[in-house]
Structure 1
Amino acid sequence: METLTAALTVVIVLLVFALAYIDARTGYLPDVLTLPLGLVALLYHWSLNWVMFTAVELVFSSAVVGLVLLAVRYVGNKNYVQDSFGLGDVKFLASSTLLRERDVNRICLS
């Protein structure tokens, strides 16, 4: 399982770097990379036997983040009469919520 966890970590890093590169160049976050990030994040937690969060906790928190960001986007669009930020940003942040960990030291030291 450790090999799978390491491989998934590499995939996550590659996806995030690819998304950052594309976003910096085009201002666009493609669904082709954003949505797999969430799936790979769930597989990552599965490979750790859900020791930090259950699947329900992760999906619920991701849905809450997505809904809050949609509400913020809606208010921003109404106030500025233009797109305040894109839906790709909402999907990316909702997907990246699945990457959270309880122990910040684990992230910093790994």
Structure 2
Amino acid sequence: MSAPPSKSLQASALSFVLLSIGHTIGGKEWTAEKSFKAIANSRPWACGTVGWYQGSAFFVVTSLLHYQWSLNPTALNDPINKTMASIINILLWASSAWYAKHGVKENALVVGLSAALQAYAVFKA
């Protein structure tokens, strides 16, 4: 007998879709800044640009993973799945703290909220 779908994991999956959209929009904003355009065609410009959009793709893949877990929450009993969830949660909290430390308050708040939702969904009793 399988467990019923997890609404909290579905909510977490949705939060990652929203993070991806916001992350992509944010990337378009900061890459349009004069100071960023001034380093165009440099290594930092290339790495910063592609890395940012890789981050957006990471959020989509993470959303799919959480949606898959939502359909079968018992999959999180597997140590590999639990480890992946833990790494994702650590990454979210670290990113939120980094944004906060550097004054990017909106990103810190949104990523922190997603981290809290993800932690609740994955680690609830």
Which structure has greater helix proportion? 2
Question: Which one has more relative contact order, counting CA pairs under 8 Å at least 6 apart?
Answer: 2
Instruction: Using structure 2 for the length normalisation, give the TM-score.
Output: 0.33
Rg larger in 1 or in 2?
2
Instruction: Using structure 1 for the length normalisation, give the TM-score.
Output: 0.36
